[in-house]
Amino acid sequence: MSTDTDGQQERTAYVIVGGGLAAAKAVEGIRETDSDGEIVLVTEEDRLPYERPPLSKAVLKGEDEMETAYTHDRDWYSEQKVELRLGTPATSLDAEKHALTLADGGSLSYDKLLIATGSSARALDVPGANLDGVLYLREMQESEALKARFTDGARIVVVGAGWIGLEVAAAAREAGCSVTVIEPQAAPLLGVMGEQVGGWFADLHRGHGVEFRFGEGVERLEGETSVTGVVTKSGDTVPADAVVVGVGITPNTGLAEGAGIGTANGITTDEALRTSAEGVWAAGDVASWRSTALDTHVRVEHWANANDGGLAAGRSMAGQDVTYDPIPFFFSDQYDIGLEYAGYVPRGSDAEVVLRGEPSSNEFMAFWVVPEGDGVRVLAGMHVNVWDTIDDVQRLVRDRAVVDRDRLADPKVPLGDLT
Ligand SMILES: Cc1cc2nc3c(=O)[nH]c(=O)nc-3n(C[C@H](O)[C@H](O)[C@H](O)COP(=O)(O)OP(=O)(O)OC[C@H]3O[C@@H](n4cnc5c(N)ncnc54)[C@H](O)[C@@H]3O)c2cc1C
């Protein structure tokens, strides 16, 4: 706490570490109830906090300017009396002393600290991975670099058929590039979607001219200074003008680990996003929060969780009584497809997929279910171009609804009538 010049009023010292959506929304959450507290926002990137989804969609395709990705403009932070420390990584945290050390040699003391350090792209660890033209997509300048490479006729090889890989493949095709996607598994997004729905994604992209190499890995990348090709595990060489690596992300838990804060696949928090250290919260990609709705800890690497979790953490830090308990949600856009997914299917679950509608029409829903009683319980659901359905999906998941399998599969039965 700090004291005003008149020596009367105590002000809370908040420090937010991170420059993504969770960090920006935490400011909003704090200011809902605490208009006086000192807020310092410390971020490694030399930019205002921004949102990442446009980097693989409208911004990458040149439909929107990069500026549209900023959560707020600079004036907003001034109005909110936030001190911005851009381009200033935090290097260590002493949770006992409530002190954060910065790379510029400075340090900050805090009453309440938020760790919203997000995730970093996982690196491709093969010979040639440092060649020019081997690119990732996490930060703004990486989106700019990709956009510059996506010229008509350019040969783009995408490593990994996850969300980033698929969205990048779509943007590259729309820019007129030839695109090959290399993926060790048998279908895109296999771990999340399963074979059937993953197969639909493969068909969608093939229909737009993407070539897939499934069941294939990268042995090495070729080139003198710039990459010219990808040598696969099976010995083929795929020519490339640029290679985009999308092989997953890892949460940036280093600060928390160094401070002895509990982590397990992310920074462990309770349902108010409080970590194991007094006065320290975590939110966004980096947090594994206690979900009462799902009765487990959940870490989610998606926009809605950074948005809602950041806001909830800010509120919680400022003293509001918070239970952060969303049903995980995400969206994606590829070509003329928009999709939304809600729910949670634990890794390794034997959930089955129930389809509602015909995937080849590109308007359908998919549900991940487990047998229960006379019917099935919905763990998660997704729509592809069937809008205004996701609230019903979230309700089914939250209510742990047991529904009739045939009625779930029947598009003529309104989702609201299933229970
Ligand atoms: C290209 C792309 C497209 C995406 N598209 C979608 C989508 O369509 N739908 C969807 O639901 N989700 C999407 N996501 C995921 C979504 O953007 C993330 O879940 C979200 O960005 C997480 O926000 P965050 O604030 O937790 O972390 P981040 O956005 O990762 O921000 C963390 C910030 O903390 C900074 N930082 C890290 N360590 C330190 C440190 N020690 N000191 C100071 N600062 C530090 C980082 O530099 C960064 O600025 C996409 C992500 C990417 C990269």
Domains along the sequence of the chain with CATH: 2-120+250-317 (3.50.50.60), 134-247 (3.50.50.60), 336-417 (3.30.390.30)
Question: Does 17 sit in the ligand 1 pocket, CB within 6 Å?
Answer: yes
Question: Does 44 sit in the ligand 1 pocket, CB within 6 Å?
Answer: yes
State the CB neighbour count (10 A cutoff) for residue 418: 18
Q: Which residues contact 7 (CB under 8 A, 6 or more apart)?
A: none
Q: Which atom of ligand 1 is nearest to the CA of 54?
A: 3
Give the distance (Å) from ligand 1 centre to CA of residue 266. 14
Q: Which two tokens stand for residue 316?
A: 């919680």
pLDDT at 225: 98
SS (H, E, C) the chain: CEECCCCCCEECEEEEECCCHHHHHHHHHHHHHCCCCEEEEECCCCCCCECCHHHHCCCCCCCCCHHHHECCCHHHHHHCCEEEECCCCEEEEECCCCEEEECCCCEEECCEEEECCCEEECCCCCCCCCCECEECCCCHHHHHHHHHHCCCCCEEEEECCCHHHHHHHHHHHHCCCEEEEEECCCCCCHHHHHHHHHHHHHHHHHHCCCEEEECCCEEEEECCCECCEEEECCCCEEECCEEEECCCEEECCHHHHHCCCCECCCEECCCCCECCCCCEEECHHHEEEEECCCCEEECCCCHHHHHHHHHHHHHHHCCCCCCCCCCCEEEEEECCEEEEEEECCCCCCCCEEEEECCHHHCCEEEEEEEEECCEEEEEEEEEECCCCCHHHHHHHHHCCCEECHHHHHCCCCCHHHCC
Whose CA is closest to atom 5 on ligand 1?
53
Mutate to test the pocket of ligand 1, among 21, 48, 52, 192 (most ligand atoms within 8 A of CB): 52
CA pair distance 239, 4, nearest whole angstrom? 65
Q: Which atom of ligand 1 is nearest to the CA of 285?
A: 26
pLDDT at 157: 98
Question: Does 334 sit in the ligand 1 pocket, CB within 6 Å?
Answer: no
Give the distance (Å) from ligand 1 centre to CA of residue 18. 9
Given CA atoms 270, 276, 279, 282 in this order, what sign does their dihedral have? negative
CA pair distance 189, 199, nearest whole angstrom? 9
Question: Does 82 sit in the ligand 1 pocket, CB within 6 Å?
Answer: no
Give the distance (Å) from ligand 1 centre to CA of residue 24. 11
Question: Does 277 sit in the ligand 1 pocket, CB within 6 Å?
Answer: no
pLDDT at 368: 98
Question: Does 247 sit in the ligand 1 pocket, CB within 6 Å?
Answer: no
What is the C-alpha end-to-end distance of the chain, expressed in Å?
51
Q: Which atom of ligand 1 is nearest to the CA of 52?
A: 17
Alpha carbon 205 to its chain's center: 22
- Which residue from 300, 249, 303 is spatially nearest to 273, judged by alpha carbons? 300
Question: Does 246 sit in the ligand 1 pocket, CB within 6 Å?
Answer: no
Question: Does 23 sit in the ligand 1 pocket, CB within 6 Å?
Answer: yes
Question: Does 42 sit in the ligand 1 pocket, CB within 6 Å?
Answer: yes
CA pair distance 268, 290, nearest whole angstrom? 8
Give the distance (Å) from ligand 1 centre to CA of residue 157. 24
Rounded (10°) angle between helices 303-317 and 21-33: 30
Q: Which atom of ligand 1 is nearest to the CA of 60?
A: 1
Whose CA is closest to atom 52 on ligand 1?
52
Q: Which residues contact 111 (CB under 8 A, 6 or more apart)?
A: 1, 12, 13, 14, 98, 279
User: Contact 149/156 with Cβ under 8 angstroms?
Assistant: yes
Mutate to test the pocket of ligand 1, among 91, 107, 117 (most ligand atoms within 8 A of CB): 117
Q: Which residues contact 416 (CB under 8 A, 6 or more apart)?
A: 392
Question: Does 117 sit in the ligand 1 pocket, CB within 6 Å?
Answer: yes
Give the distance (Å) from ligand 1 centre to CA of residue 222. 30
Give the distance (Å) from ligand 1 centre to CA of residue 127. 28
Q: Which atom of ligand 1 is nearest to the CA of 90?
A: 42
- Which residue from 252, 251, 258 is spatially nearest to 93, judged by alpha carbons? 258
CA distances from 93 to 100, 182, 254 (A): 5, 40, 10
Whose CA is closest to atom 26 on ligand 1?
284
User: Contact 292/157 with Cβ under 8 angstroms?
Assistant: no
Question: pLDDT tens digits, the chain, 419 residues: what are they?
Answer: 655 555 556 899 999 999 999 999 999 999 999 999 999 999 999 999 999 999 999 999 999 999 999 999 999 999 999 999 999 999 999 999 999 999 999 999 999 999 999 999 999 999 999 999 999 999 999 999 999 999 999 999 999 999 999 999 999 999 999 999 999 999 999 999 999 999 999 999 999 999 999 999 999 999 999 999 999 999 999 999 999 999 999 999 999 999 999 999 999 999 999 999 999 999 999 999 999 999 999 999 999 999 999 999 999 999 999 999 999 999 999 999 999 999 999 988 889 999 999 999 999 999 999 999 999 999 999 999 999 999 999 999 999 999 999 999 999 999 999 98
Cα Rg of the chain (Å, integer):
23
User: Contact 18/117 with Cβ under 8 angstroms?
Assistant: yes
CA pair distance 358, 20, nearest whole angstrom? 38
Give the distance (Å) from ligand 1 centre to CA of residue 82. 20
Question: Does 16 sit in the ligand 1 pocket, CB within 6 Å?
Answer: no
